[in-house]
Structure 1
Amino acid sequence: MVGLLWLLLWVGDALARLWQPGPKSWLHMQGAHILSEQPNQPRQPWPLRPIIARRLNVAALSAPYAAHEDTTPRSVATDAYGFRKTSAGPFAVTLCGDSFFINDLIADSLARHLGQPVGNASIDGRGTLAMARLLDAPAPAFRNSRVVVWLRIEAGINTKEFVEWMAQRRSELHPPANPLKRAYGAWRGSALWPANLDGYLTETAPVKAPLQRLASEISWHLGGSRDTTVLLGRQQLPAHVAPMQFLNDEQGLARTPMPEADLVAIADGIARVDKELRQKGTQLVFAAAPDKSTIYRERLPRTVAYRPGFTARLYAALRQRGVRTVDLETRIRQQALAEPTKALYYTTDTHWNPHGQALAARILADSLHTLTQ
């Protein structure tokens, strides 16, 4: 039975490679061809789903959360490399980040503010990979950008996630000389490697949502309790102020501060990227996207103490190393306090909404004008 299933997977994988145009998305799941979306998609709907709410079992959400849920469908278009198309390259400015920037609202807004073409190289959940690919295997439209804005790395970043992951992901972009290692890499990159089966299910695949819901229900009933990674915010808030949900690993909820050694290692790693980009004639700008607990600390439960994250310390260390930074947190926080009824982040998701993205684009434009003239 296992052998027959394996054979069916092999045949299915072979047929899928013939059907998929351009770079084979199912063949190249690793290295240079880890794709931010899918290649050669003229217009792929991307339904925004509440990640945090899904962990809590969406059916159990209270009315205030449901009233503020955003289900607006987005659309993305990708090139043969899997990068989203924002406008015709080459791009003067490239955005490099993770899921905070996977749609193109910030890139398009920034392009209008600057009057320059802006490309989006962000990859969902893989900010370090996005930068590794820009350094070692950029798509043609991104090769001559004058400015690269590194918008975020990953949530819960530490030395291992940055220093080790960055080195590992850069090494993945270069196929090994040993033919056995190349064959092994190709195998791990195909659907014959069980962990890659999800690659066959794009966000628009009809069976993906039911399978994810089934997995959530199984986890819910077997676990017997809600996901502990999610924290419900204050419920008793003024009228028209939305209650929010948070992730327990956000900066504002950190139980212990980041060790100085880890902070130094991360700053040194970013400084090395800055030096390498400068050698290519590109200016690096680092601008960490603040998480929701940092911006909406008053909406945390009364029993939870807010603790400042490591961003301010990281910025100071980067400035000492000559790395240019942009402070998004201060102005976004000011806006959140000035208009408490106008949310800048999704209430049931960890990411900022279109209002927050538009504000981030204006802040970045103010800092980048002199670099792009």
Structure 2
Amino acid sequence: MPPAKQDRPLLFCSLIAAVFIILIGIDRISPAVLPKDSYFYHPWEYMMGSFRYNIPRTNEKMELTGYGDLANMLGVPGYQVLRKFVWTNDRYGKRNSSVTQHETPAVVVVGDSFMVSAANSDEESFVTQLQTHTDASVYGYVPADMSVFLHDLRFQEDPPEVVLWGRVERNTLGSNGEIETILKDTSCFTEISEWNRMEKTSKDTVKALIGGFTEYAQLSILRRTMQQSLRHMLYAWTGQHTKNVLLVPGETMLFHDRGAAVLSSPGKERGFSAVADAVAHVRNCLKARGTRLIFMSIPDKEHIYASRLGREVPTPDPLLVLEQELDNRKVQYVSLVKRFQEESTPGKDLLYWLDDTHWNARGIGVAVEEVIKKLEE
């Protein structure tokens, strides 16, 4: 009589369950023991609270080795340009190194991720470089929308002499949400009740209290590793990759699909009249406080390196069309596009990172030179 076949489904299921429990345990312990480099490709997400309701960290410095946002989206290590980051947030949650943490600054920089210098270390940031080239005290109210700056009581009570407002080209469109918000304003963002301010402060306090747990719950070393590995394998086996990143055969520079889409749009289709109206409104609001506004539109990487993308910039240059609209409204601005085009010819060092949408230290330095000229006028 043959021996009975041993059936051990319970043991098999127990082993599978044990593996899953161990993996989950490793995944949950990892945020407390692994370096931040394991989860973040550069400091922006961590320092500005991307996983904790966008409540930025305060009085904190972060150091890590990272790479660019386009390389992160692509997930192919060969395109990563590794570099060391130092990122410091002040007590207000704004990015400022020790040399720019002024309480009553003469010059305040307001703007998006370009003005915060998301792809650069503290010593290379726009605010720090500007401070090293002027005797006036410089402060970075970055990152922030202009509407947020205008209703901040801190700078209503102690207005600076100059506000430099910078926006990257792809965010300088008539359809942009911030531009639309400014155009709807009728009070220079001062008609905000004390109750509304208290309500916002209370909400932010609650978010900050539970933000750490929320961030911890979202961080997953297994998900991060698998996501990047799958992107790399897909690219290696099929050549396919995320549509957000544009690859040009034989080209080491990565491009962003949104920047390329904006490049295809001529100036007359970008709603620059509305943009100029919004900037003029901000100019008038600040003028009433005794503050001078200087606006700066930063060219997209795809605009300056259009030839490397195999494209051409529309004629007339869209940013020159915007500048004409600003001239018509007598708005003071810093013009970068011609200078950047001159500085981006073959043989010259790059103005933007190969693996990132943002400008590098040299690009920031060139922009700072133009800003200093305008400040001295």
Q: TM-score, normalised by structure 2?
A: 0.68
SS in 1 for 2:298: coil
Provide the rounded CA distance (Å) in 2 between the counterparts of 1:46 and 1:278. Answer: 41
Alignment partners' CA distance in 2, 1:221 and 1:120: 41
1:189 Cα offset (Å): 6.9
**Residue in 1 that maps onto 2:30:** none
Distance (Å, rounded) in 1 between the aligned partners of 2:332 and 2:241: 42
- 2:165 maps to amino acid: W
State whether structure 2 residue 325 is matched by structure 1 residue 317.
yes
Cα deviation for residue 147 of structure 1 reads 0.9
Measure the CA separation in 2 of the matches of 1:345 and 1:261. Answer: 24
Shift of 1:100: 1.1
Matched with 1:10 is none
| Aligned residue among 342, 357, 373 for 1:366 | 373
Say if 1:156 and 1:250, in contact at 8 Å, map to a contact too: no
Please report how far the alpha carbon of residue 144 of structure 1 lies from its aligned counterpart in structure 2 after TM superposition: 2.4
> For the residues of structure 1 that align with 2:160 and 2:221, how far apart are their CA atoms?
37
Q: 2:85 maps to what in 1?
A: 73
- Alignment of 1:248 with 2:257, yes or no, is yes
**Unmatched 5+ stretches in structure 2:** 1-47
CA–CA distance in structure 2, aligned partners of residues 135 and 346 of structure 1: 32
1:137 Cα offset (Å): 0.8
* 8 Å Cα contact 2:151/2:190 also seen in 1: no
SS at match of 2:258: coil
The answer as to whether partners of 1:95 and 1:119 remain within 8 angstroms in 2 is: yes
Query: 2:350: which partner in 1?
Result: 343
Query: CA 1:269–1:54 in 2, change beyond 3 Å: closer, same or farther?
Result: same
Structure 2 residue matching 1:155: 3-state secondary structure: helix
Matched, 1:40 2:59: yes
Q: Which amino acid aligns with 2:173?
A: N
Q: CA-to-partner distance for each residue in 1:42-85, whole Å, 9 max, x for gaps?
A: x23365531111111123x3xxx44xx14222221311354535
Aligned residue type for 2:136: Q
Query: Which of 80, 88, 106 does residue 126 from structure 2 map onto?
Result: 106
Q: Aligned pair in 2 of structure 1 residues 212, 167: CA closer, same or farther (>3 Å)?
A: farther
Deviation per residue, 1:238-269 (Å, 9 max, x gap): xxxxx211112216753333555822112111
Moved more, 50-59 or 213-222: 213-222
Q: Structure 1: which 5+ residue stretches go unaligned? A: 1-24, 124-128, 237-242
Of 299, 307, 311, 2:314 maps to 307
Residue of 232, 249, 261 corresponding to 2:247: 232
Q: Does the CA contact (< 8 Å) of 1:287 and 1:325 recur in 2?
A: yes
CA RMSD of aligned residues (A): 4.2
- Secondary structure at the aligned position of 2:345 is classed as helix
Which residue of structure 2 lines up, in the alignment, with residue 84 of structure 1?
Answer: 96
The farther-off stretch of 220-229 and 82-91 is 220-229
Deviations 1:324-355 (A, max 9, x none): 01111211221121643x22210011111111
**C-alpha separation between the residues in 2 aligned to 1:268 and 1:191?**
36
Aligned residues: 313
* SS in structure 1 of the partner of residue 114 of structure 2: helix
Q: CA deviation at 1:322?
A: 1.1
